[in-house]
Amino acid sequence: MLDRLDKEFEIEKEAYEITSLEEALLTFEQIFDEQAKVKNLQDKIRRTKEFYENQIKYEQFKIENLKNALLAYYERQKQVNPKVKIKSPFGNFVNHKEKLDFELDEEKLIERYNGTDLVKTKSTLYKGDLKKRLTVVGDKVIDTETGEVVDGANPVTKPAYVSVSIKKPKEDK
């Protein structure tokens, strides 16, 4: 389509020649009108984009409300039967158990592990690799490789929670 437009523009460019003052003045008016058309199209695009962005926000709001209703229903069912499992072809409930984890004070840990493979040269901590090396013992976080208590890592208990998992619609091909 762009090739076709390029050819049409070339034809118009070659075909339009101004030969008098009257044509020049009319050309100014034509340019003014074309600029107004461009502005109208840009406004139309902006309004259309805003409309669909608002539609998306509304649909996301509806999704959150539906998920909250599902979670409330699941909690009621769980009170009746703590081992209840609810699945459908479109989604299911996922129980996340309470787990021990740690909060990291990145600056202290960068200082501590600087010069190792856990810190990038620009002093960025490889948190994933570090978490593999750390373990919680009582109320302390221990580096399993050195056996030392890690200053800058504090044990925290993340609460159990339930989330709703919805399968994504398949894309048409």
Domain boundaries, the chain: 20-84, 94-161
What is the mean pLDDT for each group of 10 consecutive residues in the chain (173 residues)?
63 74 90 91 96 97 95 93 90 87 84 77 77 87 89 85 73 63
pLDDT at 41: 96
Q: Tell me which H or E stretch contains 38.
A: helix 21-80
Q: What is the pLDDT of residue 6?
A: 65
Strands of the chain (E only): list them. 87-88, 91-96, 99-104, 134-137, 140-143, 153-158, 161-166
Is-contact 95 87, C-beta < 8 A? Answer: no
Q: Smallest Cα–Cα separation from 112: which of 150, 147, 78?
A: 150
pTM over 0.75? The answer is no
